[in-house]
Amino acid sequence: MSEAKAPEESIAEQLNLKDGDYVQEFGYDDDVDARLREQIEAAIGAELFDEDAQEVVDAVVLWWRDGDGDLVDELVDVQTTLDDGGVVWLLTPKAGRDDHVSPADIQEAASTAGLHVTSAARVSSDWSVSRLAPKRNF
């Protein structure tokens, strides 16, 4: 029988984060999932970098709501500090919630910004999360 994983381990596994990773957060507002933020910080053993940080990061957490502006522009901007091989974790309100962003809009914006949606994870009761990775040119 397997033991239940601690929330931090579950978050770390689902978001592929580990102790020592640098993670930058964009789109923070009073509606974000505070528990999820705490779990991410516990998984990486540090606080999230804010939008103004210039450090090269392993991952980006982007909270995005319908009406926040142009998702393509934001996805291009958040990649400026992203290390090679890094990913963007795009969090949007779940279907049926205010400011929901459709999966089709996410796919289109990601593609235009040079990213593609590779997976999703269940990490929050109010937010959907999509993993966006850079497209590989062969």
Q: DSSP string of 39-103?
A: HHHHHHTSPPB-TT--S-EEEEEEE--TTSS-HHHHHHHHGGGEEEEEEEEEEEEPTTSTT---H
- Domains of the chain with CATH codes: 7-134 (3.40.50.150)
Q: What pTM value is reported for the model?
A: 0.90
CA distance 92 to 128: 5
pLDDT tens string, the chain, 138 residues long: the values are 444 444 444 777 789 999 999 999 999 999 999 999 999 999 999 999 999 999 999 999 999 999 999 999 999 999 999 999 999 999 999 999 999 999 999 999 999 999 999 998 878 999 999 999 998 754
- Residue corresponding to tokens 């978050």: 11
Nearest to 48 by CA among 17, 79, 70: 17
